[in-house]
Structure 1
Amino acid sequence: MPPAPCTPDADAIDCAIIGAGPAGLTAAIYLARFHLEIRMFDCGSSRAAMIPRTHNHAGFPGGITGPDLLARMHRQARDYGATCEAATVTAIERDGDDFIVRTDRSTLRTRTVLLATGVVNHRPAGLDDALHDTALTRGLLRYCPICDGYEVTDRRVGVIGTGDHGMREALFLRGYSSDVTLIAPDTDHELDDACRAALDDAGIRRVDGPCGDYRIDGDRFVVRTAEGDLAFHSVYPALGSHIRSELAIAAGARASEDGCLEVDDHQRTSVPGLFAAGDVVKGLDQISHAMGEAGVAATTIRNLLAERRPIRR
């Protein structure tokens, strides 16, 4: 059965938050503490939930797992009255000064929207889910050298990627280990002279693809390449990501060529009343950065709503 239509005279909540990762949850905590009526939608695929343990999130000297961090943030948001609905948002539509948010379960009118849908990492082709998740949990497969490059210090590291993006990730990891290999995902490497020179200068080995037939052998992640099987303590896919900005773009928000939403210093998109924070916005893909953007967005939303109608107890 399709969601019921949202009638023009239906009461609007203050803000709909789409996404329940670190950005969405931070915004929920702020907005709930501003005594605003909000609703958060969670499709259940936050990238933070995949973090086995992060050691660079301030305040947790022993590290914290992604699921534990999200659970703590959910509990904190609930303590202030924030509600979260397990649903997938299918559309954001402008209706006068408000928005209509449609999900696979319901329809909601809201005065503002905060998009915090993040990104999805591209995985190596042919890597099945079970092996992927096991390797990720054991730190044999990693996606964020900024987050956990320290953990591969002086270890043997493989990077699956090519071109400028693959080169930059390999060079970044060279700051942690002298043993870094860049593996082309498909066939031969696609590297210009400048990339080759930079890799050679850093002493980074280049191996052509295709790569696949992945397996775990003891404490190593094994990759089959054009030069045979290579074993690493950790492998980083440098294959880019899918930015989940389609909802905002369909609503008229501007985005970069790769899909990152364009926002101003207050996290406002080009659509009045539509905000964005976290990895869906162009910038540093880090939990701390996403949380900071969410705090800015939430405060701006509160002040915008106060301009429309005084917020008083």
Structure 2
Amino acid sequence: MSSVDDEYEIAVVGGGPAGLTTALYGARLGHETALIDRGGGRAAMMADTHNVIGVTEEVSGNELLETGREQVESYGGTFERGFVTDVTETEEGRFRLTTNDAEFLADRVVLATGFSDERPDPPLPRNARGLHWCLHCDAYMFVDEPVYVMGHGEVAAHVAMIMLNLTDDVDLLTRGAEPTWSEETAAQLESHPVDIVHEDVAGVENDPDSGWLEAMEFEDGSRREYRGGFPMYGSDYNTALAEGLGCDLTEGGEIDVDDHGRTSVDGVYAVGDVTPGHNQVPVALGQGAKAGIALHKDLREFPRSTEEIARDGPVSEEDVPAISPELLATAVAHEGHAGGPRTEAGADSEAERPAADDD
């Protein structure tokens, strides 16, 4: 069990793609980094991974996340399984993170706490083979197939019309709820070949062998075939920690951040689905990378400013490198280190490649 003596430069709360990438950059750029994750999350629900270059579709969300955790740990990052219940700023300007059985101190904290999709009640269909949450991830699976969109608001109506780009068989299921979309959206729907089904779902038929959705039965006795669809009932953003720290939120309920994940509170960053933008794994990876670089620029020792040099004197040989002994030893021993074990082909390819500086 971790103790209150565990101190880090960077503490990342949430182990999805965005949090993992931030932690990876933190560790590889020489900062003592902890990743605290309770498990689960939206990415863990993915049966397959879509739209991620270099990652093939048979890779599940859990496999993707496990590989990410292994990468973070291989560079000296610390992984902790736990649920962060509170984050407070200390008088010294650091952050105290409390879990169910431990406390951590960190110079900077990154909130990658994501959100939860609001589910239909009752949740029919019940499994992922017919129930999908991400239009841009999964729409490709239903090209030229019958699909449903479930909901009664603006987003559901527009997603139904968007799906007409990929298939000519789209139903909008309100499940007995009164539509709340605008008059303008109603006029749009009337001019698109989307069937609006108001009766509630009475039953679901799945293929007995594959488990994939085949059809739904409705309370009026009708039966409609579907291969899958998208419930659109909104999102519940996990912003309790951010609100406790005083971070500004957007009108939509996300944590308000700048282009590199900085919140309105100094030292607090946020990345991933809990911030505005597309809820996509590649987008989350990019947000994590940008936040990781911003954190490095915020925390790194050198170059020392002219004011610091005037106050503290020039940088001595004893001051460098500005990396902890533990992370230094990990880096030197890592296979990705210039002095580490390399294949002949790898060495040749590195030798031919010019150095890049994206600072």
Mapping of residues 188-227 of structure 1, within 5 Å:
188-217=178-207, 219-227=212-220
CA RMSD of aligned residues (A): 2.3
**Residue type of the alignment partner of 2:83:** T
Alignment check: 8 A CA contact 1:18 1:89 kept: yes
2:152 to 126, 144, 162: 162
Q: Which residue of structure 2 aligns with residue 287 of structure 1?
A: 281
- In structure 2, the residue corresponding to 1:28 is in which secondary structure? helix
In 2, the alpha carbon distance for the partners of 1:309 and 1:46 equals: 39
Alignment check: 8 A CA contact 1:141 1:221 kept: no
In 1, the alpha carbon distance for the partners of 2:48 and 2:57 equals: 9
Q: Which residue of structure 1 aligns with residue 99 of structure 2?
A: 103
1:312 to 315, 322, 328: 322
**More moved, 186-195 vs 18-27:** 186-195
- In structure 1, the residue corresponding to 2:149 is in which secondary structure? strand
How many residue pairs are counted as aligned between the two chains? 301
How far does residue 300 in structure 1 lie from its aligned partner after superposition?
1.0
- In structure 2, the residue corresponding to 1:174 is in which secondary structure? helix
How far does residue 120 in structure 1 lie from its aligned partner after superposition?
1.0
User: What residue ranges of structure 1 are gaps of 5+ in the alignment?
Assistant: none
How far does residue 122 in structure 1 lie from its aligned partner after superposition?
1.5
Q: Which residue of structure 1 aligns with residue 260 of structure 2?
A: 266
Q: What's the % identity of the aligned pairs? A: 30
How far does residue 150 in structure 1 lie from its aligned partner after superposition?
0.8
Alignment check: 8 A CA contact 1:56 1:148 kept: no
Q: Which residue of structure 2 aligns with residue 122 of structure 1?
A: 118
Alignment check: 8 A CA contact 2:175 2:197 kept: no
Alignment check: 8 A CA contact 2:45 2:62 kept: yes
1:39 to 34, 45, 69: 34
In 2, the alpha carbon distance for the partners of 1:211 and 1:59 equals: 39
1:184 to 171, 174, 184: 174
**More moved, 237-246 vs 191-200:** 191-200
**Residue type of the alignment partner of 1:127:** P
- In structure 2, the residue corresponding to 1:110 is in which secondary structure? strand
How far does residue 286 in structure 1 lie from its aligned partner after superposition?
0.5
How far does residue 306 in structure 1 lie from its aligned partner after superposition?
2.3
How far does residue 12 in structure 1 lie from its aligned partner after superposition?
3.6
**More moved, 64-73 vs 85-94:** 64-73
User: What residue ranges of structure 2 are gaps of 5+ in the alignment?
Assistant: 305-320, 324-359
**Residue type of the alignment partner of 2:160:** A
How far does residue 63 in structure 1 lie from its aligned partner after superposition?
4.7
- In structure 2, the residue corresponding to 1:182 is in which secondary structure? strand
Answering whether residue 85 of structure 2 is matched by residue 90 of structure 1, we say yes
1:54 to 45, 49, 54: 49
1:149 to 132, 136, 139: 139
In 2, the alpha carbon distance for the partners of 1:94 and 1:224 equals: 54
Alignment check: 8 A CA contact 2:152 2:177 kept: no
Show CA shifts across 1:127-166 (max 9, x none).
27xx62xx30x3x211111001111000000011112111
1:79 to 74, 79, 86: 74
**Residue type of the alignment partner of 1:111:** D
Alignment check: 8 A CA contact 1:208 1:226 kept: no
- In structure 2, the residue corresponding to 1:158 is in which secondary structure? strand
Answering whether residue 24 of structure 2 is matched by residue 29 of structure 1, we say yes
